[in-house]
Each structure stands twice: as structure tokens, then as C-alpha cells.
Structure 1
Amino acid sequence: MTENWLGRVLELEIGPVAHGGHCVSRVDGRVVFVRHGLPGERVRAEVTEDKGGSFCRADAVEVLDASEHRVTPPCPLATPGGCGGCDWQHADPAYQRSLKAAVVAEQLERLAGITRDVVVEPLDGGPLGWRSRVRLVAGRDGRAGLRAHHSHRVVALDACPIAVPGTLDVALAKRWRPGTELETTTDGDGHTHLRELSTVHGRNKSRQLSGGLAVQHAAGRDWRLDAHGFWQVHPFAADTFAQLVREWAEAPRGGVAWDLYAGVGLFASVLAEQVGPDGRVLAVESGRQAVTDGERNLADLPQVSWRAGRVEHALEDAPKPVDVVVLDPPRKGAGRAVVDAIAAGSPDRIVYVACDPAALARDLATFADHGYSLTDLRAFDAFPMTHHVECVALLQ
């Protein structure tokens, strides 16, 4: 039986970065996933989780030999035992991007057999003040905050340097019933929207406290939508990704295109411009409020038709063949059923927008079974200071 190392302090050398905001080290034949360290550093790390088996988790609590890329975190809570919202505040922004690039490349090679050099590009606006939507919870003292890493413990906030300025002001200004969950969003016009979330008899409920209808700007259009529905969190992300979809989709005039996991139709609007009034765009989205918002926002584009429901079901009787498919699935990826349904439409080009490199790599491997290969890929630092990275892949 493996000895439980919980609370043990290990002196170790930190190895390569891994997916999930930590680096890998090895001690006495076991893998140690270390947060708050950087590759090549020598540290003392306290074990924070050990469920037995071949690995455990630890925080670097003392740096004995620091990396040249180490910096002082801009937030005093981005430390071991502090807020779990950020992973890489102790690394300079350029090095953060190189770590993310290494993760994307490793996932592609390990899960899809694709060897590719990856560069993670910064978005406009800098590494701070970008997060336009934040989920908060009130601690025992009623102050709103974020949870510690892998914990239910609430770390109260006075401010958050990665949030868009003003986003948290209303939520942090008062005390809440302990356990209250809040979601606050700042839209493209700088207006803040706040709602309270709760679970009643097993069902999710929400109460709008301020705002509710957000205004966003992207792809040459003004969008009005549920403030807490899906929209890119980084203020410059939606327009950046829409421009890339426009460049890579190349939907033919009069052609057929699918926008899957369409949200309110950001990419559908781009595809509709390309296919023109004689073409057809099918937008599929499971969220009924998003479909309602999308139909309203794209009412001037009759070539766009909407279906609410699961993608694999909506595509069963969708018009085929299809020229171009754009998909932007949730973090878990599309999965085999959706990939099979897309391949059944025999598209010439597929543009895949992904927020998780592991899920992207798994789906690319499945697309390869249908004869599709990765012909281009760009990665963006749409979530600075965290381990998350956004990729856009072109398959043909």
C-alpha cells in the first residue's frame, strides 16, 4: 500500500508543463503534479492531495532556484492556498504563452498523432482586465469570492486584476447569504449585469438583480442577447475568431454551411455573408434562449435557419452534402457521434473552434478516421493568467 503523502513537504526539481495548470515532477517513482512552480525550478512543495496510486498533487511553497521567467503575481491571492482562479500569474506573459503552446503540441501528438509546432498568440488588451464574466460565491462571512483550487473553501475578494474593471464592483459591495452564487457580466457597452443563482428542489433557478440584456459587438454587427448566455469571455475574442472563420471557411456563393453549437449565431452570420441570399446556413444550438436571441439578431438573414437540440440529432435530416462546417463545442469536445454526423455531410472544409486542447486532439483523431486531416491551426491566449487556451483548427 502506498504511503499517504498528504501534508508532506518534498524538495524536488520541476519538470515539463502538463495540461491543467501544473508541471510534472517525480519523487520515489511517483508523479507529482506541482502548481505555482515553473519548469526547471527547484522548490519545496507541500502535498495537497494524495488519493494513493501513482500520483499526487502539491503546491510549490518555497522556491530554492527560480526560473528567469518567474515574476511577482499581480494578485496577492495567486499563491499556494489562495484563489484557484489563476494558474500562471507567477510567470511572465510571454512565457505563459510558451507553456500553453507546449501543452497544445503535446496533446496533439499524444492523442492525435499530430506533430506540429504551436505558437499561442496574444489578443489585444494585455494580460489583465480582460475577464468579462465571473462566477462568485459568498463565504461564511457573506463576502463574495472565488473558491480555492480543488476546494469548496471560499477566498474573499477585494478586487480581481484579470476582471474587466467594474465587473465585480456591485457584487463585492455588499454581504450575501453564505453559499449564495452570483454571476456578473460586463457587456460590450460597459454595462454590468448581475444575477443570483440557486438550486430549488433539484432545479437550477436564477434571479436577475441588475441588467439582463447585454449588447456585444463583433463580425461587423451589434448583438443583443441574454447577458448570461454564451459569449466569448475575452472582449477581443469573438471578433478575432469571427475574422478567422471568415478567412478559413470559404463557403461558396449559393452553398450550404452548418454552424454547430452556434450560440447566438456569431459564425452563422459570417457564413451567411459568404453563401449569400441563395445559399443556406443551418445553425444548431441546444440552448433555447440562445436560439431565440439568434433568430432575433439574424432576422435580416433569411438564409439562416435554426434548430434547437443536440447536434447529432439535428443533423440526421439536415441538407446534405454540405460545403463547410464550423463547430464550437463545449469544453468536453464534440465526441464521436457528432464527428460521425459531420463526416456524413461530406464537407470540403471544417473549421473547429476549441477551448480545450485535449478534447480537440481526441476529435481530430476521430476526424482522421473519416479521412480529414489538420491543415492549419492557430492558438490564442484568450484566458491570460489561467491554463486555458483557445485553438482554431482547419480540417480538409
Structure 2
Amino acid sequence: MKKGQIVEGNVYRVDFPNKGRVWIEDDGDVIVKNVLPGQRVSVRVKKKRKGKAEGELLSVLRPAENQLTKPKCPHFEVCGGCTYQHISYEDQLSLKEEQVKALLTDVIKAEQHCEGASSCGVSPCPMKKNALEEVWNPIVPSPLDEEYRNKMEFSFGDAYKDGPLALGMHKRGSFYDIVSVEDCRIVDSDFRMILLATQDFFRECDATFFHKIRHEGYLRHLLVRKAKRTEEILIDLVTTTQVDATVAQKYGSEEAMLKAYVACLESLVSDGKLVGKMTGILHTKNDSVADTITDEGTDVLYGQDYFYEELLGLKFKISPFSFFQTNSLGAEKLYETARGFIGELGNDAVVYDLYSGTGTIAQMLSPAAKKVIGVEIVEEAVLAAKENANLNGLTNCEFIAGDVLKVLDDVTEKPDFIVLDPPRDGIHPKALEKIIAYGVDKMVYISCKPTSLARDLEVLQAHGYEVKKIQCVDMFPSTMHVETVALLVRESDQDDEVVSIKVDLDGIELDQGRYVPPEKPTYKDIKQWILDKYGFKVSTLYIAQIKDKVGLEKRKNYNPGSGEGKVPICPPEKEEAIMDAFRHYHLM
């Protein structure tokens, strides 16, 4: 295969996140996005390096057996929002579950799950063919597989160059083009009505949108939030301060134009076109060049700048930019799953809720604990957490603003239980070291990115924690994303029951009871493993330095020199990756 070549092949697997593996006869694998297992596809090779190829999907030559004749959403394959609108929800759940299992099968330590003993002393354990199956619980579906989202950030733009104003989602594979998604299936009818009314209003105004290259224009985003339980709606129009001359000419001023926009939205209520209750309409100014919503000043045009949502009997005040799970009913399932894993805490228990967001988990656990301490780096989220705890009459919740890595040094009360709910990239290695050092008997890890979970679980297990339960919760139907909850229990020699077991050791190489891999990994093996898992390269010199550090033998001197020049020192993040590889290959 060469770059630019068009090839045909069969999709035999799709890995997380949305990485289809297409087998090309006589040439091997090509990684392609937006495909399904069982499809035969035409692909253009975009990149080939060191035997690995990536391609762009050109067409589906033969559909998968489980592929729907007609996708549920008319915008699918054009809009970049959803990945799996063309298979049933049951098949989506199966696919997500298999993707997470594939990531964790080699991570969950087999010897930890021999019945009657903490370890049989042999790795891999001959008594348990698949340790993951012993701790796996079936995936929890979202209560709604359509119209489940409580928040959308729509973008202004055009569907094609110099085309009419569009309001919606980014076109699949495009940074600039916008698809108007008036029939979007993951939000309810109120979102769709507000989107259409806003798009029509500003088309009539002949208002411009913010061009990402020229950094000119007025309209940027429309943020819509709606509570599932209370049905309260909050709308935020995000613009630059560059008021269009045509707008000023038609309305006289930006203020007059915004009043007309509010009247347009109010007419949706008076005409009975909205199911929910509109509690606030806001205007946020944002002149930054980044394609994200940055609050550089927000005015209330109508009502108030917050709304309320209810989860598991608790009430939450939500502002336009507060973090809150985007699937309210799914969040209840997620937190119920986590609560079930946690079990009884005890009235004297101190719980850490690390990466606590707006404090939802902390408040859920507070009635069962002496105290819950939440740590969150986003200060606005901490303020919201404190306000919500007061709103719910909870006096034993403390929320601290700051980085977990730094804040833990200043917290004097030690935890009896820890809940981890980190951002997508997982837990910083040094923060994880501090968390492990507390030595709590149990932790629950809630992950929104299974690749990060797999990395962190390896570290936790290497420090004496066993995975006792693990379960996926689908919070994002029709997309590639999935949440995973894991219960970790610290090994305790005092609690272990010592039993005699008979193990057939035929075919297993032993060295004083310790498993020996058939061959030691080469430097090339270690480099490739790190590149595959972490996405960055390490040098032979760095590997040799870490071998020296931990006392592993080297075959030759990879750190030569006269002493006159400076030798580069392995950075901490690469050292952690190399150590991880050593553990993977049973070198330490």
C-alpha cells in the first residue's frame, strides 16, 4: 500500500474510539473511522508509517448485516455529531461493551481472581481463562436512546462557502462547514424549535457569522440547556462585539435587535410551540479566536441566568457554563451504579470525591458518611457545588477549588473511601501516587474514556488494588462514548484465606514459582508498545536509563560518552511509560 492508493477491504473490528480495522488482502490492516464490523469498504490510504496505515472512508461497498436500511437521523453521515445512528440501540450497546472489554482484557490481573485465594502464584493464572469475565457486569443502557441530551452548543456558519447562514453542528470531517440540524434526534422538540427560530431570525437580519480565518463577524454560538425533570430552559446567544452594519441599520442598535430576538423566542411560548418553561435568555460576548465559548461578559435579556434540575431526589442549580452531565436520566443510572459498588460506608467515614465537578456524587453520598470532601479544579463548579449543597440542606460536604495533585497535600482529614471521576485524560501519574499512598481499602473509579481507565488500572493493580467489579453505563446513545465504573479493593494479607490448590503446570515455564515470558522483549518491542499505548516515542537511551534506575540488566552500553557533553535525561511522563512497559513485560 502507498499513500494516496485506493484499496478495498472488509471491516473485521472497530476499536474504541471509532477506529475501524479494515483488512486489505496481501497488505494488512488500515485504520478507518466511521465504519461498522462486517462492512466491505473502499478506502483511500492517507498515511503509512512503520507498517501501520490510516485511511479515509470513500464508500461502503457492502453493508453490515446489522446495518439499518435507513439511519434514524436524516442528518447522519453529514453531521459530525453521531457515530452509530445506522445500527439498533441493542447493537450499539454490544459494540461499546466489546470495545471496553477488548481494552481491559489484558489489564485485569488473572491471578487476583482465583476462588479461595488472592493469588495462586502463577501468571497468567491457569484456573481462570478470562479474569475480566469474573468481575464484569452487563452494560447499563440509557433510559432514553433518543432526545436524551439536556445541553447543546450549536454553531453559526454556512453549509458551504458563501452559502446562507446555518445554525447547527459541524459537518463531519470539516472544521468550517455547518450542518443545520433541525431534525436532530438526540435532543427534544424544544431544542429544535429554538434552533429554527434563531436561525430564521438572524437570516432575516442578514447578520454575519464569525469567520474562523478572518476573525470577522458577529454570530458565534447558541447554547441551549433544558432540565429533564423540571423542563426549565436556559438560552444563551454568544456573539462577538462586532455588530453588523446591516443589523444596526435595520434595528438602530444591537440592544434593539436583541429585544426583537427575545420577542421572537417569547412567541414560541405564547404560540404553544414549546413544551418546557423558558426561564432565561442570555447574551454572552466572546471575542477570543478559539472556537470555544469563552465568557467575556454575560447579560440577562430575559428572566434569570440559571435553572434547576433534579437528580435522585436532590436539586441542582445550573448556570449557563456549569458542568453537569448532559444526560440527566442516564446520570441517575451512572450514580446508582456507583452507589451500588460503594456499598455501606459507615457513619464515621470520611469520603474524598476527587474531580468532583458540581458535587453531584458528593451530595449523593453525604447522608451515608460523616463527611465528604470534594476537590475540583474549576472554581465556578466548586461555587455551584457549595450552593447546591446548601440548597439540599447538606452540612457535611466540603468543596475545595484546586488541582488534585496540589490540594491533597493540604487536606488534613484522611479518607476512608475515595471516589475518582477524572476528566477524559485520566489521573496525573503523580496525583495517582498520592491517592494510592492513602491506602484506603476501597475506591470507585468512574471513567469517561476507557483507554485512560486501562492505563490507571494497571498502576493501581501494581500497587496492591484488585478490580472486584466493573460495569459500563451508556450515557451517550448514537455516539462512540461510554462511561465505565470500576470498584477497586486493596489486598490485605490479614484477610486472605490460605487454601491448598492443585494446579496443572504443564506447558507453563516457571522460575521459582514466578512466570517467565517465553522471550525477553527487545528495545524495539518496548518502544512499539509505548507508542501504541501512549502515542509518543521513547529513545533507546531513555529505556537504558530507566533500566539502570531500577537495576535491570542491559545487553550493551547505551549511554556512552566522554563526559564532555550533556546526556539528555528521561522526562517524568516518559519514565512512567517505560516503567509501565517493564511491568507489562514482567521485567519487574
2:184 is the counterpart of 1:143: no
Aligned to 2:221: 181
The one-letter amino acid paired with 2:142 is L
Q: Which has the higher helix share?
A: 2
2-structure distance, mates of 1:134, 1:108: 32
1:316 is paired with a residue whose SS is helix
Partner deviation per Cα, 1:263-284 (whole Å, 9 max, x = no partner)? 2211111221111xxx221111
- Comparing 299-308 with 150-159, greater Cα deviation is found at 150-159
The one-letter amino acid paired with 1:14 is V
**Cα offset, 1:362, TM superposition:** 0.9
Aligned to 2:295: 205
Aligned to 1:98: 94
2-structure distance, mates of 1:389, 1:291: 25
Partner deviation per Cα, 1:249-299 (whole Å, 9 max, x = no partner)? 232211111011112211111221111xxx221111111111111111112
The one-letter amino acid paired with 1:139 is G
Matches within 5 A, 1:1-396: 3-5=2-4, 9-27=6-24, 29=27, 31-43=29-41, 45-47=42-44, 50-53=46-49, 54-59=52-57, 61-79=59-77, 82-110=78-106, 115-117=131-133, 119-125=138-144, 127-140=145-158, 141-152=164-175, 153-173=177-197, 174=199, 175=202, 177-179=208-210, 180-188=220-228, 189-195=230-236, 196=238, 198-200=286-288, 204-205=294-295, 207=298, 212-249=305-342, 250-275=344-369, 279-299=370-390, 300-396=393-489
Partner deviation per Cα, 1:361-394 (whole Å, 9 max, x = no partner)? 1111111122112110111111000010111111
2-structure distance, mates of 1:186, 1:65: 37
The one-letter amino acid paired with 1:323 is D
Aligned to 2:501: none
- Comparing 221-230 with 91-100, greater Cα deviation is found at 221-230
Partner deviation per Cα, 1:94-116 (whole Å, 9 max, x = no partner)? 11111101110111135566752
**Cα offset, 1:142, TM superposition:** 2.4
1:263 is paired with a residue whose SS is coil
2:31 is paired with a residue whose SS is strand
Are 2:349 and 2:371, in contact at CA under 8 Å, matched by a contact in 1? yes
**Cα offset, 1:60, TM superposition:** 5.7
**Cα offset, 1:65, TM superposition:** 4.9
Are 1:261 and 1:311, in contact at CA under 8 Å, matched by a contact in 2? yes
Partner deviation per Cα, 1:207-255 (whole Å, 9 max, x = no partner)? 4666531211113211112243111111212222222333222322111
Are 1:69 and 1:95, in contact at CA under 8 Å, matched by a contact in 2? no
What is the RMSD of the two structures over their aligned residues, measured on CA atoms?
2.4
2-structure distance, mates of 1:308, 1:237: 27
Are 2:355 and 2:377, in contact at CA under 8 Å, matched by a contact in 1? yes
Partner deviation per Cα, 1:338-367 (whole Å, 9 max, x = no partner)? 221211222211111111111111111111
Identity %: 26
* Larger-gyration structure (1/2): 2
Structure 1 regions of 5+ residues with no counterpart? none
Structure 2 regions of 5+ residues with no counterpart? 111-130, 159-163, 211-219, 240-285, 490-588
1:139 is paired with a residue whose SS is strand
1-structure distance, mates of 2:388, 2:101: 37
**Cα offset, 1:51, TM superposition:** 3.7
Change (3 A) 1:30 1:229: farther
The one-letter amino acid paired with 1:73 is P
The one-letter amino acid paired with 2:57 is D
1:145 is paired with a residue whose SS is strand
Higher relative contact order (CA 8 A, sep 6+): 1
**Cα offset, 1:75, TM superposition:** 1.3
- Comparing 164-173 with 228-237, greater Cα deviation is found at 164-173
2-structure distance, mates of 1:192, 1:240: 23
